[in-house]
Amino acid sequence: MDRGSMIYMRYAKNVEINGNGCTFLIEKPVNSFVYLRECENVKIKGIDVCWEEHTSTQGTVTAVANDSITVKLQDGYPDLPSVEWLKEIGATISFGQLYYADEDRPKVTTTDRIRIERNYEKVGDREYKITCGSSYASISAVGDRIVIPTRSSNYDAGYLSAGLDGGSSAITVFLSKDVTFED
């Protein structure tokens, strides 16, 4: 892999990919499965995707302080990568997406994300204190859920990934229109 995505399209128009029920088994983490940028009239259908390892983690906010939140990760999701490893390969984790504690939707505020970068430390078993600044901490509440992309740079490319264009979600559609995912 020399890209952050398995399927990467830029400026594509009038394209249909039909997997006819195939399954992509992703054994080595990549940033995303599909990344579309500035595409039009694209249809992707008939594909199952199975990640051997998650590309993100998720947890629950257990404490909020002036400039930080503490997050307990849920079972079945990976720990955050060590800060030392991130520095060594030149990677970072940019943000975490907040979700309401009692609703299955993103938290809507002036900013719905928590800035993370390398500002976290492990404080317990699968528990992390994330220093994010007072403006970010103030939108958080105990019980909120958070999803944190753990592969916002290529898993093992580090500095080499600086010029790559890709997202850290399974599917990223950016500046595109008439895009359909089916089956």
As given in the structure block, the two tokens for residue 117 are 């970068």
Q: Which pLDDT belongs to residue 30?
A: 60
For residues 157-173, average pLDDT: 57
As given in the structure block, the two tokens for residue 86 are 């991130």
3-state secondary structure of 7: strand
For residues 106-114, average pLDDT: 75
pTM: 0.67
Sequence-ordered list of residues with C-beta below 8 angstroms from that of 152, at least 6 positions apart, any chain: 31, 91, 92, 93, 94, 168
> Within a 10 A sphere around the Cβ of 42, how many other Cβ atoms?
21
Q: How far is CA 25 from each of CA 31, 46, 47, 53, 62, rounded to the nearest angstrom?
A: 14, 14, 11, 10, 34
pLDDT grade for 106, boundaries at 50, 70 and 90: confident
Q: Is 58 in contact with 34 (CB distance < 8 Å)?
A: no
103 or 92: whose pLDDT is higher? 103
pLDDT grade for 1, boundaries at 50, 70 and 90: very low
Say how far apart CA 70 and CA 68 lie, in whole Å: 7
Pairing of strands 40-51, 13-26: parallel
For residues 32-47, average pLDDT: 93
3-state secondary structure of 48: strand
Residue with tokens 């499965």: 33
3-state secondary structure of 46: strand
Query: Is pLDDT of 25 > 60?
Result: yes
- What string of DSSP letters covers 102-151? SSSSB--SS--EEE-TT-EEEEETTEEEEE--HHHHTT--TT-EEEEES-
53 or 152: whose pLDDT is higher? 53
Query: Is pLDDT of 157 > 70?
Result: no
Say how far apart CA 63 and CA 102 lie, in whole Å: 17
Q: Which pLDDT belongs to residue 158?
A: 45
6 or 13: whose pLDDT is higher? 13
Query: Is pLDDT of 167 > 60?
Result: no
Q: How far is CA 10 from each of CA 44, 85, 146, 148, 166, rounded to the nearest angstrom?
A: 15, 31, 30, 26, 11
